[in-house]
Chain A
Amino acid sequence: MVREAYKDYEANLAAEKIVDSPFVVQSIKQNHPSSHYDEASITSAAPLGEMCVACEIRNMSPFNYSFSYKTDWIDDRVLARLDVGDGTHNNRVPGIPLEETSVPTPQIHLYRNDGYFVAYRIDGIDYESDEPVKFDYYKGYEYLCGRLNIGCENHTPPAFYFQPSGRLNLMVSDADPNEGVEFPAENE
Protein backbone atom coordinates (compact mmCIF):
# COMPACT_ATOMS: atom_id res chain seq x y z
CA MET A 1 0.00 0.00 0.00
CA VAL A 2 3.02 2.23 0.39
CA ARG A 3 3.84 4.71 -2.38
CA GLU A 4 1.77 3.23 -5.26
CA ALA A 5 -1.40 2.76 -3.26
CA TYR A 6 -0.97 5.85 -1.12
CA LYS A 7 -3.31 7.92 -3.29
CA ASP A 8 -6.04 5.30 -2.80
CA TYR A 9 -5.37 5.37 0.94
CA GLU A 10 -5.63 9.18 1.11
CA ALA A 11 -8.74 9.17 -1.06
CA ASN A 12 -10.34 6.55 1.17
CA LEU A 13 -9.57 8.47 4.36
CA ALA A 14 -11.04 11.67 2.91
CA ALA A 15 -14.12 10.04 1.33
CA GLU A 16 -17.46 10.18 3.10
CA LYS A 17 -18.11 6.92 4.93
CA ILE A 18 -21.17 5.41 6.58
CA VAL A 19 -20.95 3.29 9.73
CA ASP A 20 -23.52 0.93 11.23
CA SER A 21 -25.09 2.82 14.15
CA PRO A 22 -25.27 2.42 17.06
CA PHE A 23 -21.86 0.80 17.57
CA VAL A 24 -22.20 -1.35 20.68
CA VAL A 25 -19.17 -2.91 22.35
CA GLN A 26 -20.13 -5.86 24.55
CA SER A 27 -18.00 -8.96 23.79
CA ILE A 28 -15.03 -10.16 25.81
CA LYS A 29 -11.94 -10.24 23.59
CA GLN A 30 -10.66 -13.65 22.60
CA ASN A 31 -7.32 -14.50 24.20
CA HIS A 32 -7.53 -11.26 26.15
CA PRO A 33 -10.20 -11.57 28.84
CA SER A 34 -9.43 -8.19 30.44
CA SER A 35 -10.48 -6.44 27.22
CA HIS A 36 -13.81 -5.97 25.44
CA TYR A 37 -13.85 -5.87 21.64
CA ASP A 38 -16.36 -5.44 18.81
CA GLU A 39 -16.51 -4.20 15.24
CA ALA A 40 -18.99 -2.16 13.17
CA SER A 41 -18.93 -2.25 9.37
CA ILE A 42 -18.29 0.77 7.22
CA THR A 43 -19.25 1.50 3.63
CA SER A 44 -17.89 4.15 1.29
CA ALA A 45 -18.00 5.33 -2.28
CA ALA A 46 -14.20 4.88 -2.35
CA PRO A 47 -13.86 1.49 -0.65
CA LEU A 48 -10.63 -0.33 0.17
CA GLY A 49 -11.83 -3.89 0.66
CA GLU A 50 -14.25 -4.72 3.45
CA MET A 51 -13.93 -1.94 5.99
CA CYS A 52 -14.88 -1.70 9.65
CA VAL A 53 -14.17 0.23 12.80
CA ALA A 54 -13.00 -1.89 15.75
CA CYS A 55 -12.96 -0.91 19.39
CA GLU A 56 -10.97 -2.47 22.21
CA ILE A 57 -11.70 -1.32 25.77
CA ARG A 58 -9.11 -2.40 28.33
CA ASN A 59 -9.88 -3.19 31.98
CA MET A 60 -13.42 -1.81 31.56
CA SER A 61 -11.95 1.69 31.63
CA PRO A 62 -13.58 4.48 29.60
CA PHE A 63 -10.12 6.09 29.42
CA ASN A 64 -8.09 3.10 28.24
CA TYR A 65 -9.10 2.02 24.74
CA SER A 66 -8.26 1.92 21.04
CA PHE A 67 -10.36 2.48 17.95
CA SER A 68 -8.98 0.95 14.75
CA TYR A 69 -10.12 1.64 11.22
CA LYS A 70 -9.53 -1.69 9.49
CA THR A 71 -9.84 -3.37 6.13
CA ASP A 72 -9.23 -6.85 4.74
CA TRP A 73 -7.68 -5.11 1.73
CA ILE A 74 -4.25 -6.43 2.67
CA ASP A 75 -4.39 -9.10 5.38
CA ASP A 76 -6.41 -7.42 8.17
CA ARG A 77 -4.61 -4.14 7.94
CA VAL A 78 -5.20 -1.29 10.34
CA LEU A 79 -5.49 1.88 8.22
CA ALA A 80 -5.71 4.26 11.17
CA ARG A 81 -5.77 3.85 14.94
CA LEU A 82 -6.68 6.06 17.87
CA ASP A 83 -4.89 5.04 21.10
CA VAL A 84 -6.02 6.40 24.44
CA GLY A 85 -4.64 5.37 27.82
CA ASP A 86 -1.24 4.92 29.40
CA GLY A 87 2.09 5.21 27.65
CA THR A 88 3.87 7.73 25.43
CA HIS A 89 4.73 6.62 21.92
CA ASN A 90 8.19 7.14 20.46
CA ASN A 91 8.03 7.62 16.66
CA ARG A 92 11.22 5.83 15.71
CA VAL A 93 10.88 6.40 11.97
CA PRO A 94 13.20 8.23 9.58
CA GLY A 95 13.02 11.99 9.17
CA ILE A 96 11.18 13.09 12.32
CA PRO A 97 12.94 15.74 14.43
CA LEU A 98 13.77 14.40 17.91
CA GLU A 99 11.42 16.76 19.74
CA GLU A 100 8.49 15.49 17.66
CA THR A 101 9.18 11.80 18.34
CA SER A 102 7.45 11.89 21.74
CA VAL A 103 3.69 11.57 21.31
CA PRO A 104 1.54 11.15 24.43
CA THR A 105 -2.01 9.78 24.30
CA PRO A 106 -4.55 10.45 22.88
CA GLN A 107 -2.69 9.84 19.64
CA ILE A 108 -3.81 8.97 16.12
CA HIS A 109 -1.69 6.64 14.00
CA LEU A 110 -1.77 7.19 10.23
CA TYR A 111 0.34 6.02 7.30
CA ARG A 112 2.90 8.38 5.91
CA ASN A 113 3.43 8.34 2.13
CA ASP A 114 6.57 6.21 2.51
CA GLY A 115 4.63 3.47 4.29
CA TYR A 116 5.58 4.14 7.91
CA PHE A 117 2.79 4.13 10.48
CA VAL A 118 3.27 7.33 12.48
CA ALA A 119 1.64 8.61 15.68
CA TYR A 120 0.36 12.21 15.81
CA ARG A 121 -1.03 14.42 18.55
CA ILE A 122 -4.67 15.47 18.29
CA ASP A 123 -5.30 19.13 17.50
CA GLY A 124 -7.10 21.11 20.17
CA ILE A 125 -6.09 18.97 23.16
CA ASP A 126 -4.09 20.58 25.95
CA TYR A 127 -1.66 17.74 26.66
CA GLU A 128 -0.41 19.35 29.89
CA SER A 129 -3.87 19.50 31.48
CA ASP A 130 -5.91 16.54 32.69
CA GLU A 131 -7.84 16.64 29.40
CA PRO A 132 -5.92 13.60 28.02
CA VAL A 133 -6.77 11.41 31.03
CA LYS A 134 -10.43 12.43 30.71
CA PHE A 135 -10.68 11.70 26.98
CA ASP A 136 -13.30 8.95 27.28
CA TYR A 137 -14.50 6.62 24.53
CA TYR A 138 -17.43 8.86 23.62
CA LYS A 139 -15.03 11.70 22.89
CA GLY A 140 -12.67 9.27 21.17
CA TYR A 141 -15.34 7.90 18.86
CA GLU A 142 -16.61 11.37 18.02
CA TYR A 143 -13.07 12.48 17.19
CA LEU A 144 -12.35 9.38 15.08
CA CYS A 145 -15.55 9.73 13.07
CA GLY A 146 -14.84 13.41 12.44
CA ARG A 147 -11.20 12.79 11.49
CA LEU A 148 -12.04 9.97 9.08
CA ASN A 149 -15.25 11.51 7.75
CA ILE A 150 -17.47 8.73 9.11
CA GLY A 151 -21.17 9.49 9.44
CA CYS A 152 -24.56 7.81 9.59
CA GLU A 153 -27.15 6.95 6.99
CA ASN A 154 -29.54 9.65 8.28
CA HIS A 155 -26.88 12.33 8.91
CA THR A 156 -27.10 12.02 12.72
CA PRO A 157 -23.81 11.62 14.61
CA PRO A 158 -22.74 7.96 14.94
CA ALA A 159 -23.76 6.56 18.34
CA PHE A 160 -21.49 4.52 20.59
CA TYR A 161 -22.29 2.41 23.67
CA PHE A 162 -20.28 0.15 25.94
CA GLN A 163 -22.48 -2.58 27.40
CA PRO A 164 -20.24 -5.28 28.84
CA SER A 165 -22.41 -8.38 29.10
CA GLY A 166 -23.36 -9.29 32.65
CA ARG A 167 -21.41 -6.42 34.23
CA LEU A 168 -22.35 -3.03 35.57
CA ASN A 169 -20.48 -0.38 33.65
CA LEU A 170 -19.30 1.96 36.38
CA MET A 171 -17.31 4.97 35.24
CA VAL A 172 -14.13 4.74 37.27
CA SER A 173 -11.26 7.13 36.81
CA ASP A 174 -7.81 5.57 36.97
CA ALA A 175 -6.09 8.89 36.35
CA ASP A 176 -3.73 8.76 39.33
CA PRO A 177 -1.80 5.47 39.51
CA ASN A 178 -0.25 6.39 42.88
CA GLU A 179 -3.65 6.89 44.53
CA GLY A 180 -4.19 4.54 47.46
CA VAL A 181 -0.71 3.00 47.26
CA GLU A 182 1.50 3.20 50.38
CA PHE A 183 5.13 4.18 49.80
CA PRO A 184 7.04 3.40 53.01
CA ALA A 185 9.81 5.91 53.77
CA GLU A 186 13.30 4.65 52.98
CA ASN A 187 16.21 5.04 55.39
CA GLU A 188 16.86 8.74 55.41
Chain B
Amino acid sequence: MRAIFENIKHAFGALWGFRARGESFEVITPFPTSTDMYVSVFITVRDGRYVVTDGGWVDKGVYHCSLPTENNIYNRVFAFFEEDYCISRTTSADGFMYLYKSTRDERLIPNLVFDVAYFISAVVNTALVQYRDETVRDRFRTKAGTLIRRHVSADRLRFNAPVSPLAKAAHFGAVVTSLQGNSVSLVNFISGSNYENVRGSFAKSNFNYDLLERTSASRLVRDKILLIDDRHIAAKELSPFIEMSKEKNQSPLMWSTGQEELLERLA
Protein backbone atom coordinates (compact mmCIF):
# COMPACT_ATOMS: atom_id res chain seq x y z
CA MET B 1 0.00 0.00 0.00
CA ARG B 2 2.63 2.43 1.15
CA ALA B 3 4.76 1.71 -1.96
CA ILE B 4 1.85 2.56 -4.23
CA PHE B 5 1.36 5.82 -2.38
CA GLU B 6 5.07 6.64 -2.57
CA ASN B 7 5.03 5.98 -6.31
CA ILE B 8 2.07 8.33 -6.77
CA LYS B 9 3.80 11.04 -4.76
CA HIS B 10 7.07 10.55 -6.64
CA ALA B 11 5.40 10.63 -10.06
CA PHE B 12 3.46 13.81 -9.27
CA GLY B 13 6.58 15.40 -7.83
CA ALA B 14 8.65 14.46 -10.86
CA LEU B 15 6.36 16.58 -13.07
CA TRP B 16 7.88 19.78 -11.70
CA GLY B 17 10.48 21.32 -14.00
CA PHE B 18 12.89 24.25 -13.76
CA ARG B 19 14.23 26.38 -16.59
CA ALA B 20 16.65 29.30 -16.43
CA ARG B 21 15.39 32.36 -18.29
CA GLY B 22 17.68 35.35 -17.99
CA GLU B 23 16.81 37.34 -14.88
CA SER B 24 13.74 35.18 -14.26
CA PHE B 25 13.14 31.47 -14.15
CA GLU B 26 10.38 29.24 -15.40
CA VAL B 27 8.65 26.64 -13.27
CA ILE B 28 6.94 23.86 -15.20
CA THR B 29 4.05 22.71 -13.01
CA PRO B 30 2.00 19.48 -12.85
CA PHE B 31 -1.15 21.44 -13.77
CA PRO B 32 -2.36 20.21 -17.17
CA THR B 33 -4.37 21.86 -19.91
CA SER B 34 -6.78 20.01 -22.16
CA THR B 35 -4.61 21.14 -25.07
CA ASP B 36 -2.01 18.51 -24.05
CA MET B 37 0.33 20.88 -22.26
CA TYR B 38 1.61 21.54 -18.77
CA VAL B 39 1.27 25.02 -17.28
CA SER B 40 4.39 27.13 -16.62
CA VAL B 41 4.79 30.14 -14.35
CA PHE B 42 7.64 32.66 -14.30
CA ILE B 43 9.27 34.03 -11.19
CA THR B 44 11.02 37.40 -11.02
CA VAL B 45 12.30 39.43 -8.08
CA ARG B 46 11.50 43.17 -8.18
CA ASP B 47 12.71 45.41 -5.30
CA GLY B 48 12.50 42.57 -2.81
CA ARG B 49 9.06 41.54 -4.09
CA TYR B 50 8.60 38.07 -5.61
CA VAL B 51 6.38 38.20 -8.70
CA VAL B 52 4.83 35.00 -10.09
CA THR B 53 3.41 35.52 -13.60
CA ASP B 54 2.00 33.62 -16.55
CA GLY B 55 4.66 35.23 -18.78
CA GLY B 56 1.83 36.56 -20.95
CA TRP B 57 1.44 33.01 -22.28
CA VAL B 58 -2.36 32.84 -21.88
CA ASP B 59 -2.82 35.94 -24.04
CA LYS B 60 -0.02 35.01 -26.45
CA GLY B 61 -1.79 31.74 -27.24
CA VAL B 62 1.09 29.51 -26.11
CA TYR B 63 -1.49 27.08 -24.65
CA HIS B 64 -2.95 26.60 -28.14
CA CYS B 65 -6.20 28.31 -27.35
CA SER B 66 -7.53 31.82 -27.56
CA LEU B 67 -9.91 33.03 -24.89
CA PRO B 68 -13.49 33.47 -26.15
CA THR B 69 -13.72 36.95 -24.60
CA GLU B 70 -16.66 37.82 -26.85
CA ASN B 71 -18.72 35.36 -24.82
CA ASN B 72 -20.43 36.68 -21.69
CA ILE B 73 -20.60 33.32 -19.96
CA TYR B 74 -16.89 32.76 -20.48
CA ASN B 75 -16.11 36.23 -19.16
CA ARG B 76 -18.03 35.44 -16.00
CA VAL B 77 -16.07 32.20 -15.59
CA PHE B 78 -12.79 34.06 -16.07
CA ALA B 79 -13.79 36.81 -13.61
CA PHE B 80 -14.81 34.16 -11.09
CA PHE B 81 -11.39 32.45 -11.12
CA GLU B 82 -9.59 35.80 -11.25
CA GLU B 83 -11.33 36.92 -8.10
CA ASP B 84 -11.24 33.56 -6.36
CA TYR B 85 -7.46 33.30 -6.76
CA CYS B 86 -6.83 37.07 -6.32
CA ILE B 87 -5.02 37.38 -9.64
CA SER B 88 -3.75 40.78 -10.85
CA ARG B 89 -3.40 41.90 -14.45
CA THR B 90 -1.08 44.22 -16.28
CA THR B 91 -0.20 44.88 -19.91
CA SER B 92 3.27 44.70 -21.47
CA ALA B 93 4.61 47.46 -23.73
CA ASP B 94 3.83 45.29 -26.76
CA GLY B 95 0.22 44.88 -25.67
CA PHE B 96 0.03 41.44 -24.08
CA MET B 97 -2.01 40.77 -20.95
CA TYR B 98 0.07 39.42 -18.06
CA LEU B 99 -1.54 37.67 -15.10
CA TYR B 100 0.35 37.62 -11.81
CA LYS B 101 0.54 37.62 -8.02
CA SER B 102 3.30 38.97 -5.81
CA THR B 103 4.55 38.78 -2.24
CA ARG B 104 7.42 40.02 -0.06
CA ASP B 105 7.34 36.82 2.00
CA GLU B 106 9.63 34.22 0.44
CA ARG B 107 7.85 31.45 2.36
CA LEU B 108 4.65 32.18 0.44
CA ILE B 109 6.06 31.79 -3.09
CA PRO B 110 4.72 28.20 -3.33
CA ASN B 111 1.21 29.51 -2.49
CA LEU B 112 1.48 31.99 -5.37
CA VAL B 113 2.76 29.34 -7.76
CA PHE B 114 -0.18 27.14 -6.79
CA ASP B 115 -2.74 29.94 -7.30
CA VAL B 116 -1.35 31.27 -10.58
CA ALA B 117 -0.80 27.81 -12.10
CA TYR B 118 -4.22 26.50 -11.08
CA PHE B 119 -5.78 29.73 -12.36
CA ILE B 120 -4.08 29.34 -15.77
CA SER B 121 -5.19 25.72 -16.03
CA ALA B 122 -8.77 26.74 -15.17
CA VAL B 123 -9.13 29.65 -17.60
CA VAL B 124 -7.49 27.73 -20.45
CA ASN B 125 -9.57 24.59 -19.94
CA THR B 126 -12.85 26.44 -19.58
CA ALA B 127 -12.00 28.39 -22.74
CA LEU B 128 -12.21 25.09 -24.66
CA VAL B 129 -15.83 24.50 -23.69
CA GLN B 130 -18.39 25.02 -26.45
CA TYR B 131 -20.60 27.83 -25.10
CA ARG B 132 -23.38 28.06 -27.64
CA ASP B 133 -26.48 25.89 -27.11
CA GLU B 134 -26.02 22.41 -28.42
CA THR B 135 -28.72 20.75 -30.50
CA VAL B 136 -29.66 17.07 -30.45
CA ARG B 137 -27.63 16.75 -33.65
CA ASP B 138 -24.48 18.29 -32.13
CA ARG B 139 -24.77 16.06 -29.10
CA PHE B 140 -24.97 12.90 -31.22
CA ARG B 141 -22.03 14.10 -33.29
CA THR B 142 -19.99 14.60 -30.10
CA LYS B 143 -21.02 11.21 -28.70
CA ALA B 144 -20.19 9.38 -31.91
CA GLY B 145 -16.97 11.39 -32.32
CA THR B 146 -15.84 10.41 -28.84
CA LEU B 147 -16.47 6.73 -29.57
CA ILE B 148 -14.43 6.87 -32.77
CA ARG B 149 -11.67 8.95 -31.22
CA ARG B 150 -11.26 6.36 -28.48
CA HIS B 151 -10.59 3.57 -30.98
CA VAL B 152 -8.88 5.27 -33.92
CA SER B 153 -5.54 7.05 -33.50
CA ALA B 154 -5.68 10.78 -34.17
CA ASP B 155 -3.19 10.67 -37.04
CA ARG B 156 -5.65 8.86 -39.32
CA LEU B 157 -8.79 10.66 -38.24
CA ARG B 158 -10.41 13.88 -39.47
CA PHE B 159 -13.83 15.25 -38.58
CA ASN B 160 -16.15 17.28 -40.78
CA ALA B 161 -13.64 17.11 -43.62
CA PRO B 162 -13.43 16.37 -47.35
CA VAL B 163 -11.74 13.17 -48.61
CA SER B 164 -9.09 15.17 -50.39
CA PRO B 165 -8.42 18.83 -51.13
CA LEU B 166 -9.42 18.04 -54.74
CA ALA B 167 -12.97 17.20 -53.71
CA LYS B 168 -13.61 20.00 -51.24
CA ALA B 169 -17.33 20.43 -51.92
CA ALA B 170 -18.23 17.09 -50.30
CA HIS B 171 -17.86 16.97 -46.52
CA PHE B 172 -18.18 13.98 -44.22
CA GLY B 173 -18.76 13.57 -40.49
CA ALA B 174 -15.57 11.53 -40.10
CA VAL B 175 -12.86 10.63 -42.60
CA VAL B 176 -10.76 7.67 -41.44
CA THR B 177 -7.60 6.72 -43.31
CA SER B 178 -6.90 2.96 -43.42
CA LEU B 179 -3.90 1.56 -41.56
CA GLN B 180 -2.11 1.05 -44.86
CA GLY B 181 -2.86 4.65 -45.77
CA ASN B 182 -4.13 3.84 -49.23
CA SER B 183 -7.89 4.18 -48.71
CA VAL B 184 -10.44 5.92 -46.52
CA SER B 185 -13.67 5.00 -44.76
CA LEU B 186 -16.31 7.70 -44.43
CA VAL B 187 -18.87 8.08 -41.67
CA ASN B 188 -21.88 10.39 -41.76
CA PHE B 189 -23.80 10.98 -38.55
CA ILE B 190 -27.57 10.79 -39.05
CA SER B 191 -29.63 12.27 -36.25
CA GLY B 192 -32.41 14.63 -35.30
CA SER B 193 -35.03 15.14 -32.63
CA ASN B 194 -37.95 14.44 -34.99
CA TYR B 195 -38.82 12.70 -38.27
CA GLU B 196 -38.32 15.82 -40.43
CA ASN B 197 -34.86 16.53 -39.04
CA VAL B 198 -33.71 12.94 -39.47
CA ARG B 199 -35.03 12.96 -43.03
CA GLY B 200 -33.03 16.15 -43.66
CA SER B 201 -29.97 14.54 -42.16
CA PHE B 202 -30.27 11.54 -44.57
CA ALA B 203 -30.72 13.96 -47.48
CA LYS B 204 -27.62 15.93 -46.58
CA SER B 205 -25.55 12.77 -46.23
CA ASN B 206 -26.73 11.47 -49.59
CA PHE B 207 -25.99 14.76 -51.26
CA ASN B 208 -22.39 14.61 -50.03
CA TYR B 209 -21.92 10.97 -51.12
CA ASP B 210 -23.37 11.80 -54.56
CA LEU B 211 -21.10 14.82 -54.90
CA LEU B 212 -18.08 12.69 -54.09
CA GLU B 213 -19.05 10.08 -56.73
CA ARG B 214 -18.48 12.74 -59.38
CA THR B 215 -14.81 13.20 -58.40
CA SER B 216 -11.69 11.05 -58.76
CA ALA B 217 -11.37 11.00 -54.95
CA SER B 218 -14.23 8.47 -54.88
CA ARG B 219 -11.72 5.76 -55.91
CA LEU B 220 -10.08 6.07 -52.49
CA VAL B 221 -13.27 5.25 -50.62
CA ARG B 222 -13.48 1.79 -49.07
CA ASP B 223 -16.61 2.19 -47.00
CA LYS B 224 -19.52 4.67 -46.95
CA ILE B 225 -21.02 4.36 -43.50
CA LEU B 226 -24.15 5.97 -42.08
CA LEU B 227 -24.20 6.00 -38.29
CA ILE B 228 -27.86 6.48 -37.38
CA ASP B 229 -29.09 7.84 -34.07
CA ASP B 230 -32.11 5.58 -33.43
CA ARG B 231 -32.76 6.77 -29.89
CA HIS B 232 -35.51 9.23 -30.80
CA ILE B 233 -37.05 7.67 -33.94
CA ALA B 234 -38.29 4.11 -34.46
CA ALA B 235 -36.18 2.19 -36.98
CA LYS B 236 -39.38 1.25 -38.83
CA GLU B 237 -39.99 4.86 -39.80
CA LEU B 238 -36.49 5.09 -41.25
CA SER B 239 -36.74 1.99 -43.44
CA PRO B 240 -37.31 3.77 -46.81
CA PHE B 241 -34.16 5.82 -46.26
CA ILE B 242 -32.18 2.81 -45.08
CA GLU B 243 -33.27 0.74 -48.09
CA MET B 244 -32.24 3.53 -50.44
CA SER B 245 -28.85 3.92 -48.81
CA LYS B 246 -28.19 0.16 -49.16
CA GLU B 247 -29.02 0.33 -52.86
CA LYS B 248 -26.41 3.05 -53.17
CA ASN B 249 -23.74 0.81 -51.57
CA GLN B 250 -23.78 2.69 -48.29
CA SER B 251 -23.59 0.84 -44.98
CA PRO B 252 -26.29 2.00 -42.54
CA LEU B 253 -25.48 1.15 -38.89
CA MET B 254 -27.71 1.81 -35.90
CA TRP B 255 -26.24 3.52 -32.88
CA SER B 256 -28.03 1.08 -30.54
CA THR B 257 -26.77 -2.09 -32.24
CA GLY B 258 -23.98 -1.22 -34.67
CA GLN B 259 -21.17 0.30 -32.61
CA GLU B 260 -19.01 -2.82 -32.67
CA GLU B 261 -19.39 -3.24 -36.40
CA LEU B 262 -18.54 0.43 -36.87
CA LEU B 263 -15.26 0.04 -34.99
CA GLU B 264 -14.41 -3.18 -36.87
CA ARG B 265 -14.91 -1.39 -40.16
CA LEU B 266 -12.68 1.50 -39.07
CA ALA B 267 -9.89 -0.72 -37.63
Residues in chain A within 8 A of chain B (CB atoms): 1-5, 73-75, 77, 86-92, 97-99, 101-102, 104, 111, 114-117, 127-130, 132-133, 173, 175-186, 188
Are the C-beta atoms of A129 and B17 separated by less than 8 Å? no
Contact with A along B1-16 (1 / 0, CB 8 A): 0000000001110110
Contacts of A175 in B (CB 8 A): 21-22
Q: Are A90 and B38 in contact (CB under 8 A)?
A: yes
A117-B154, A184-B88 known; A86 and B57 CB under 8 Å? Answer: yes
Interface size for chain B: under 10, 10 to 19, 20 to 34, or 35 or more residues? Answer: 35 or more
Cβ contacts A to B, 18 pairs, < 8 Å: A5-B181, A87-B40, A90-B37, A98-B12, A99-B10, A99-B15, A102-B30, A104-B17, A130-B22, A133-B19, A173-B22, A177-B53, A177-B55, A178-B24, A178-B42, A179-B24, A181-B56, A181-B98
Give A82 Cβ to nearest chain B Cβ, in Å. 17
From the candidates A90, A132, A181, A184, name the one contacting B32 in the complex (CB within 8 A).
Answer: A90
> A178-B53, A178-B55, A180-B92 given as contacts; is B23 within 8 A of A2 (CB)?
no
Interface contact B181-A74, CB-CB below 8 Å: yes
Query: Which residue numbers of B lie inside 8 Å of A, CB to CB?
Result: 10-12, 14-15, 17-24, 28, 30, 32-33, 36-38, 40, 42, 44, 46, 49, 51, 53, 55-57, 60, 62-64, 86, 88, 90, 92-93, 98, 100-102, 104, 153-156, 164, 177, 179-181
| A173-B20 Cα distance, complex, nearest whole Å | 13
Closest to A173 in B: B22
Task: Determine the chain A residues whose CB is within 8 A of the CB of B32 once the complex forms.
Answer: 90
A177 to B88 CA separation, bound complex (whole angstroms): 17
A186 and B101 within 8 A (CB): yes
Whether B28 lies near A102 (C-beta < 8 A) is yes
Do A183 and B179 have beta carbons less than 8 Å apart?
no
Contacts of A183 in B (CB 8 A): 44, 46, 51, 53, 88, 90, 98, 100, 102
